[in-house]
Amino acid sequence: MMTNKSLKNNPLLEHWDTPFGTPPFDLIKTDHFREAVEKAISIAEDEISRICTNNEPPDFENTIEALERAGEALGSITLILFNLNSAETCEELQSVARELAPVLTKFSNDITLNPVLFERIKNIFGNCSNTELSSEMKMLLHKKYQNFILGGAALNEDQKLRFREITEELSTLSLRFDENVLAETNSWELIISDRSDLEGLPESLAEAAEIEAKSKNKAGWLFTLHYPSYVPFMQYSNRRDLREKMLKAYSSRGFNGNKHDNREHVIRIVNLRLELARLLGYETYASMALTDRMADSPGKVYDLLEKLYTASKPAAYRDLEKIKKTALKHNFTESIERWDWAYYSEKLKKELYDFDDEELKPYFRLENAEKAIFGLAYSLYGLTFRLNALIPVYHKEVKTYEVYDDDGSFLAILYLDYHPRQGKSGGAWMTSYREQKTLNGIDIRPHISIVTNFTRPTDTKPSLLTFSELTTFLHEFGHALHGMLSKCSYESLSGTNVARDFVELPSQFMENYAYEEEWLEQWAFHYLTGEKIPLNIIRKIKEAAKFNEGYACYRQLGFGFLDMAWHTVDNPLKKDVAEFEKNAADKTELFPPVDGTNTSCSFSHIFAGGYAAGYYGYKWAEVLDADAFSFFSKNGIFNKKVAASFRKNILEKGGSEKPMDLYLRFRGKEPSTEALLIRSGLAEI
Q: What is the pLDDT of residue 3?
A: 41
Give, in degrees to the nearest 5, the angle at Cα 472 between 431 and 666: 75
Q: Where, residue-wise, is CATH 1.10.1370.40 in the chain?
A: 361-549+618-680
* Cβ within 8 Å of residue 213, ≥6 positions away: 191, 219, 220, 221, 222
CA neighbor of 376 nearest in space, from 643, 11, 3: 643
Residue 671 predicted with pLDDT over 60: yes
User: How far, CA to CA in Å, does 598 sit from each of 250, 253, 261, 562?
Assistant: 10, 8, 11, 12
Give me the sign of the Cα torsion angle 673, 674, 677, 679: negative
Read off the pLDDT of residues 240-260 as tens digits, 9 standing for 90 and up: 999 999 999 999 999 999 999
Cβ(482)–Cβ(639) under 8 Å?
no
Single out the catalytic residue among 210, 370, 469, 476.
476
Q: Is pLDDT larger for residue 414 or for residue 500?
A: 414
Residue 470 predicted with pLDDT over 70: yes
Residue 1 predicted with pLDDT over 50: no
Read off the pLDDT of residues 158-202 as tens digits, 9 standing for 90 and up: 999 999 999 999 999 999 999 999 999 999 999 999 999 999 999
Number of other CB atoms surrounding residue 449 within 10 Å: 24
Whole-prediction pTM value? 0.94
Q: How confident is the model at residue 205 (pLDDT cuts 50, 70, 90)?
A: very high
Domain 361-549+618-680 CATH class label: mainly alpha
3-state SS, residue 416: strand
Read off the pLDDT of residues 35-72 as tens digits, 9 standing for 90 and up: 999 999 999 999 999 999 999 999 999 999 999 999 99
User: How far, CA to CA in Å, does 507 sit from each of 86, 242, 398?
Assistant: 20, 35, 21
Read off the pLDDT of residues 588-633 as tens digits, 9 standing for 90 and up: 999 999 999 999 999 999 999 889 999 999 999 999 999 999 999 9
Cβ(181)–Cβ(604) under 8 Å?
yes
Distance CA 157, CA 562 (A): 35
If you average pLDDT over every residue of the chain, what do you get?
Answer: 95
Q: What is the DSSP string of 156-196?
A: -HHHHHHHHHHHHHHHHHHHHHHHHHHHHHHH--EEE--GG
3-state secondary structure string, 216-240? Answer: CCCCCEEECCCHHHHHHHHHHCCCH
- Give the CATH number of domain 11-154; options: 3.40.50.300, 1.10.1040.10, 1.20.1050.40, 3.90.420.10: 1.20.1050.40
Cβ(28)–Cβ(10) under 8 Å?
no
Distance CA 393, CA 413 (A): 12
Among 312-316, 374-378, 541-545, top mean pLDDT goes to 374-378
Residue 395 predicted with pLDDT over 70: yes
- Buried b / exposed e along 413-434 (16+ C-beta atoms within 10 A): bbbbbbbbbebbbbbbbbbbbb
Q: Where, residue-wise, is CATH 1.20.1050.40 in the chain?
A: 11-154
Read off the pLDDT of residues 76-118 as tens digits, 9 standing for 90 and up: 999 999 999 999 999 999 999 999 999 999 999 999 999 999 9
CA neighbor of 472 nearest in space, from 435, 518, 426, 535: 426
Distance CA 448, CA 445 (A): 10
Looking at the chain, the whole-number percentage of residues with pLDDT higher than 70 is 98
Q: What is the pLDDT of residue 5?
A: 46
Cα-flanking dihedrals φ and ψ of residue 442, to 5°?
Answer: -100, 130
Q: How confident is the model at residue 8 (pLDDT cuts 50, 70, 90)?
A: low
Q: How confident is the model at residue 130 (pLDDT cuts 50, 70, 90)?
A: low
Q: What is the pLDDT of residue 406?
A: 97
**Of 62-66, 129-133, 271-275, 415-419, the least confident:** 129-133
Q: What is the pLDDT of residue 681?
A: 81
Distance CA 318, CA 128 (A): 55
Residue 128 predicted with pLDDT over 80: no
Decide if 92 is catalytic.
Answer: no
Which is it for strands 429-434 and 399-404: parallel, antiparallel or unpaired?
unpaired
